[in-house]
Chains A and B, each alone.
Chain A
């Protein structure tokens, strides 16, 4: 069962229209909240007049920043003391810092009235000069605070010596555009404070329900047990959804103030200016290499455009960028300096493959540059620098997400070889060479990367068998649509030899299971999956103990076949798990000397992440007149350690690839010089559609199971995205010889610049020859 591509258990309600998303929730007496947002990128609020809005029929309440006294939103992870002053207030009081910043909320009988009332609020803002460039001069954030929220440096090895000893230095400057996860379902929530019970129930939780429950309880001064977060169906997370945003706090607070359920459903225009942006980094990378292309030392300095505030992720993205940047290569000496800069844009956070999309682009551009400058084959440079399988586990003296970086397992050369063989890439290369000789602009690009997954420290699960034999798997996990339930059911079914369709998986309900870390960092299959494996194993043991005393047999003589316990080889003795559960009713269980119920709870702990890895290959052609790059084919090889459900892994990879393509070719949050966002609809923020997606061929390998968990699992959520920008850039380089892509997304205009450069070179060569 583990290893089978079974159909998703989640799909039936989704495909039959029975799924319940947060916008489907309608409680008696429910009101609607609307957020008035700043139309100005930077300025001082001089006055807000809400009189007319308050007087409108159907408006229940209007609040501004002066009306509430709530702390700014806390950091969830990777926090640095010096970043604290840059946290976002839930409502702006005197100062606005980006277009889209919440200034006031309106609560009304319905969303239409709320939006009408929003227009009646008049806000006067004295505009200030916005800061739109994260790499320029430092500005003032507030008196005594400049616009650099954090500068950090990590280092290992003898870097300066490396640069002295090896005098071939290769430098690249690269930029990764501002883009983000844009789930099809916008954010939203329904908060329901019941004045009778004193319980606040929040629907629409995602990603980190338990953390958010605690954060809301603390901000509102409530006991955590009086706050319940409930997850519904979720239409996409990608890192951005489910973080604690101002709207979540405002919604809960307003519901408690009014003692009524309130709904807030984000619209798309809001989403594009309010939900976390991501990426947007500029790197200067320098390597000291020898003639073989071996990197003896690597220095990186980068600037991240954090936007207007530091949100829940604090330094997650910059530190991950910094410490994962060396990737699959040994790099004996490394120094990285990161600058987290504030500008007047929508604040940024994590997005699928945070830091790795950026770092992989930067690093792999460098590898290609080394190959170009030393006239080597880029794959030879990669091979030369790869950490070898004999070096595993491989420690890099750095930390990521609070864990020491120790690559647990991997054979990078083997993955390259497997991919090249599987897809006969040398033949594809030959075809491409032929097309090039006919004058076509076409090229193949490659990129290699290491991912990380399975972040701890814990996940817990309770597995219970009912008297009909149905199994309830209660987890502290969360589901953002990734197939969590299917995977948990498969692991449980595998242990208990029960069909997954008889297994119900619950997640994201904080009142049902007290602890959970959440759905991010490709962690849940590893963490919750292992916990399910352990808890199901305990259930199996208990079933054996029970049946052993029922049949007066020895536990060692029993086996589990098709959901029934039997004496080995004797199907006529079979007692199915439902009957075992029946035998464990309290009174009979007591007679057997056992605890009532056929169930068990267990926890899996892990101090280390594990490290899957992958290889992306792109075939890109370019229309010389229009400048548009077309991705004709795309290949992704990924070593996952152990694939519980290869179809779901492939789905994750291909879906991730679409987002990688968006960042490589299309998506970019642009602003004008006044800080006005130019991409506030899907006409201007260009998500790829199915028509822009090339066929993606996927090879999943299991050559390097993780030694850190019994099933060898690693995570699959991000590897389809990670190297997309890097591989496309490399293919575009190959298609337009003598030029180099240095920024994403690659626009037709950028390509045209490269084409002009190529023509000029050709003319120069022609002129001299």
Chain B
């Protein structure tokens, strides 16, 4: 479990990082918190010849709020988010989800952008980006571009970022106070990636659901919106019956693969139970 030899460069700015990526081509990899990349290198599943460490680029850390958008910069640590005071339902969801990412040492080093770029289908941040249609901003040799969440996660560990691009920041909609947000996970141990997780955000006005967003992790090659369940919620009253019905639909619209940690049927049942529970409660 020793990595193959690699060269190490420290970038002082995004431009420098991009320049280095251009120079080394796809032999290079960006190093953020290292909490996914370094284990993969130790297992020799990843063999970059050059690491471009972006950890020192200070303006890539932190978040800001403007009108109805919260911008989280790439290098914001999981623990920064856990301790942040982002207002409203989004803030509550961010803080709660951050607390479920791994263990404290991982949260201290691991980054928001690193998680998205790593694109694990059970990752809290990949779920959240998918749930809220986040906009990912990347910088490459020909300038900045924006990728919508639905186009960002191609498959397991494969984001739509080119080898010479750096993810700089992510925009999330600041959810209004009518949103109820929640996240329910099933894992056998604290700190593990969830076997199945369901994240929800529903807007309720005058006892009618006016927006419904549901996203499941651990059931596909990427975090998956539960569109049929969402559709069934819109226009309904937020009652246990409505939620139970949506939960049933949710479990039918996923087609997970079974593995060591849970069969297909078990995962489907988990989607049902967790959808119901996620909808029934609210973090705010």
Chain A residues in the interface with B (C-beta under 8 A): 111-112, 115-116, 119, 267-269, 625-628, 665-666, 670, 678-679, 683-684, 686, 688-689, 691-692, 748-749, 752
Q: List 15 A-B contacts (CB under 8 A).
A: A112-B2, A116-B5, A267-B1, A626-B273, A627-B266, A628-B186, A666-B189, A678-B260, A683-B193, A686-B188, A689-B189, A689-B190, A691-B189, A748-B262, A749-B263
Q: Which B residues between 1 and 56 are near A, CB-CB below 8 angstroms?
A: 1-5, 43-44
State the Cβ distance, A669 to closest chain B Cβ, in Å. 11
B residues less than 8 Å from A684 (CB atoms): 260-261
The reply to whether B191 and A626 form a contact with Cβ atoms under 8 Å apart is: no
B residues less than 8 Å from A683 (CB atoms): 192-193
A residues less than 8 Å from B189 (CB atoms): 666, 686, 688-689, 691-692
Shortest 10 CB-CB contacts between residues of A and residues of B: A691-B190, A625-B273, A267-B1, A115-B2, A112-B2, A678-B260, A111-B2, A749-B266, A626-B186, A689-B189
The reply to whether A666 and B188 form a contact with Cβ atoms under 8 Å apart is: yes
B97 lies within 8 A of chain A by Cβ: no
Bound: A116/B273 CA distance, A:
47
B249 lies within 8 A of chain A by Cβ: no
State the Cβ distance, A626 to closest chain B Cβ, in Å. 6
- Knowing A626-B273, A752-B269 touch, does A116 contact B190 (C-beta < 8 A)? no
B residues less than 8 Å from A748 (CB atoms): 188, 262, 266
Residue of chain A at shortest CB distance from B187 = A628
B127 lies within 8 A of chain A by Cβ: no
B residues less than 8 Å from A692 (CB atoms): 189-190
Chain B residues in the interface with A (C-beta under 8 A): 1-5, 43-44, 186, 188-193, 260-263, 266, 269-270, 272-273
Residue of chain A at shortest CB distance from B196 = A626
Bound: A201/B260 CA distance, A:
44
A residues less than 8 Å from B44 (CB atoms): 119
State the Cβ distance, B5 to closest chain A Cβ, in Å. 7
B residues less than 8 Å from A116 (CB atoms): 4-5
Bound: A626/B195 CA distance, A:
11
Report which of A268, A666, A678, A691 forms a contact with B191, defined as CB distance below 8 A. A691
State the Cβ distance, A85 to closest chain B Cβ, in Å. 34
State the Cβ distance, A173 to closest chain B Cβ, in Å. 23
Bound: A666/B189 CA distance, A:
9
A residues less than 8 Å from B260 (CB atoms): 670, 678-679, 684
Residue of chain B at shortest CB distance from A672 = B260
Bound: A625/B2 CA distance, A:
42
Bound: A566/B269 CA distance, A:
78
A residues less than 8 Å from B261 (CB atoms): 684
A residues less than 8 Å from B273 (CB atoms): 625-626
Bound: A625/B274 CA distance, A:
9
A residues less than 8 Å from B186 (CB atoms): 626, 628
Residue of chain B at shortest CB distance from A691 = B190
Bound: A752/B266 CA distance, A:
9
A residues less than 8 Å from B188 (CB atoms): 628, 665-666, 686, 748
Bound: A254/B215 CA distance, A:
56
A residues less than 8 Å from B266 (CB atoms): 627, 748-749, 752
Bound: A679/B263 CA distance, A:
17
A residues less than 8 Å from B5 (CB atoms): 112, 116
The reply to whether A269 and B191 form a contact with Cβ atoms under 8 Å apart is: no
Residue of chain B at shortest CB distance from A665 = B188
Residue of chain A at shortest CB distance from B193 = A683
- 6 new A-B contacts, CB < 8 A, other than A111-B2, A679-B260, are A625-B272, A666-B188, A670-B260, A691-B191, A692-B189, A752-B266
- Knowing A678-B260, A686-B189 touch, does A269 contact B43 (C-beta < 8 A)? yes
- Knowing A666-B189, A684-B260, A691-B191 touch, does A626 contact B2 (C-beta < 8 A)? no
* Residue of A665, A684, A748 with most chain B CB atoms under a 10 A cut-off: A748
A residues less than 8 Å from B193 (CB atoms): 683
The reply to whether A689 and B191 form a contact with Cβ atoms under 8 Å apart is: yes
Bound: A625/B191 CA distance, A:
21
B residues less than 8 Å from A115 (CB atoms): 1-2
Bound: A679/B188 CA distance, A:
15
The reply to whether A625 and B269 form a contact with Cβ atoms under 8 Å apart is: yes
Bound: A485/B117 CA distance, A:
50
The reply to whether A268 and B4 form a contact with Cβ atoms under 8 Å apart is: no
Bound: A101/B214 CA distance, A:
47
Report which of A269, A679, A688, A691 forms a contact with B1, defined as CB distance below 8 A. A269
The reply to whether B1 and A268 form a contact with Cβ atoms under 8 Å apart is: yes
Bound: A284/B263 CA distance, A:
28
Residue of chain A at shortest CB distance from B262 = A749
Bound: A112/B270 CA distance, A:
43
Bound: A670/B260 CA distance, A:
8
Bound: A111/B190 CA distance, A:
33
A residues less than 8 Å from B270 (CB atoms): 626
* Residue of B1, B3, B5 with most chain A CB atoms under a 10 A cut-off: B1
Bound: A678/B258 CA distance, A:
14
Residue of chain B at shortest CB distance from A668 = B260
Bound: A112/B3 CA distance, A:
7
Bound: A112/B6 CA distance, A:
11
State the Cβ distance, A682 to closest chain B Cβ, in Å. 9
B residues less than 8 Å from A268 (CB atoms): 1
Residue of chain B at shortest CB distance from A752 = B266
* Residue of A119, A268, A683 with most chain B CB atoms under a 10 A cut-off: A683
State the Cβ distance, B218 to closest chain A Cβ, in Å. 13
State the Cβ distance, B99 to closest chain A Cβ, in Å. 12
Bound: A748/B43 CA distance, A:
30
State the Cβ distance, A380 to closest chain B Cβ, in Å. 35
* Residue of B3, B189, B269 with most chain A CB atoms under a 10 A cut-off: B189
State the Cβ distance, B173 to closest chain A Cβ, in Å. 31
Bound: A12/B117 CA distance, A:
43
State the Cβ distance, A490 to closest chain B Cβ, in Å. 36
Bound: A628/B272 CA distance, A:
15
Bound: A112/B260 CA distance, A:
32
Residue of chain A at shortest CB distance from B277 = A625
B residues less than 8 Å from A678 (CB atoms): 260
Bound: A58/B111 CA distance, A:
37
B residues less than 8 Å from A627 (CB atoms): 266
B residues less than 8 Å from A119 (CB atoms): 44
Bound: A679/B261 CA distance, A:
11
Bound: A268/B1 CA distance, A:
8
State the Cβ distance, A384 to closest chain B Cβ, in Å. 38
State the Cβ distance, A658 to closest chain B Cβ, in Å. 12
Bound: A267/B43 CA distance, A:
10
Residue of chain A at shortest CB distance from B272 = A625
A residues less than 8 Å from B2 (CB atoms): 111-112, 115, 267
B residues less than 8 Å from A111 (CB atoms): 2
B residues less than 8 Å from A752 (CB atoms): 266, 269
Bound: A46/B192 CA distance, A:
41
